[in-house]
């Protein structure tokens, strides 16, 4: 319900994504079919012009209305059970979304299932070690969201347990990015 309410203002609240940083990591990946898990309004997907065909997947219809208004392909579904053909994607993105998924292990298993061999998984997450992120986590709990924030080591372990190989880890002051591939 929260995301339904903020959908019209989400892009302005969140600001423009650091597309340069994302594209630098994605240079190591095959261009083509991209799935944006928890992609919401298409804030990131809309910035990936020329990288490939992007499908935005989110559980919030309000967020997806914003993505469709931008001309993006979008589907309403849960990341724990992807309505996507096995081995059909070159890249799976989870940008500022992993902490919202209730069953991260299942989401990562689904991401691996839909990726082609050699396909890439790119995760960008707020780093729970940051004071700012700890404040955001507390606010999200107060709002009734069931978010669970992680540190880079936690996500690295979960990604490896799901059968991915780590390609790169980039840590910033508030966010970290992880690039992995399906063997």
> Are the beta carbons of 66 and 72 closer than 8 angstroms?
no
Strand partners, 123: 94, 178
Strand order across the 89-95 sheet = 73-76, 52-58, 32-37, 89-95, 115-126, 175-181, 165-171
> Are the beta carbons of 171 and 178 closer than 8 angstroms?
no
> Are the beta carbons of 111 and 103 closer than 8 angstroms?
no
**Overall domain count for the chain:** 1
pLDDT in tens, 95-133: 999 999 999 999 999 999 999 999 999 999 999 999 988
Q: Tell me which residue of 77, 67, 149 sits closest to 110, measured CA to CA.
A: 77
pLDDT in tens, 36-90: 999 999 999 999 877 889 999 999 999 999 999 999 999 999 999 999 999 999 9
Q: Is the dihedral of CA 18, 13, 63, 100 positive or negative?
A: positive
CB atoms within 10 A of CB 114: 20
Residue 159 confidence (pLDDT): 98
Place of tokens 């689904």: 110
Residue 16 confidence (pLDDT): 83
Query: 76 phi and psi, to 5 degrees?
Result: -90, 115
Q: What is the CATH number of the domain that holds 49?
A: 3.40.50.150
pLDDT in tens, 146-178: 889 999 999 999 999 999 999 999 999 899 999
Does 11 have pLDDT greater than 80?
no
User: Full-prediction pTM beyond 0.85?
Assistant: yes
Does 93 have pLDDT greater than 80?
yes
Range of the domain at 26: 2-181
């Amino acid at each position: 319900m929260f995301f339904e309410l903020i959908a019209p203002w989400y892009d302005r609240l969140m600001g423009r994504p650091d597309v340069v940083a994302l594209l630098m990591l994605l240079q190591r990946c095959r261009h083509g079919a991209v799935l944006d898990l928890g992609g919401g309004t298409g804030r990131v997907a809309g910035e990936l012009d020329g990288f490939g065909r992007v499908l935005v997947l989110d559980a919030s219809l309000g967020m997806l209305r914003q993505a469709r208004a931008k001309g993006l392909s979008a589907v309403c579904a849960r990341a724990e059970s992807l309505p996507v053909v096995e081995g059909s994607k070159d890249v799976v993105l989870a940008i500022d979304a992993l902490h919202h998924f209730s069953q991260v292990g299942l989401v990562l298993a689904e991401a691996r299932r839909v990726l082609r061999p050699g396909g890439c998984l790119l995760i960008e997450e707020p780093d729970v070690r940051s004071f700012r992120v700890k404040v955001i986590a507390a606010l999200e709990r107060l709002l009734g969201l069931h978010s669970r924030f992680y540190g880079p080591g936690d996500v690295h372990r979960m990604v490896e347990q799901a059968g991915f190989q780590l390609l790169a880890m980039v840590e910033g002051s508030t966010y970290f990015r992880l690039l992995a591939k399906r063997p």
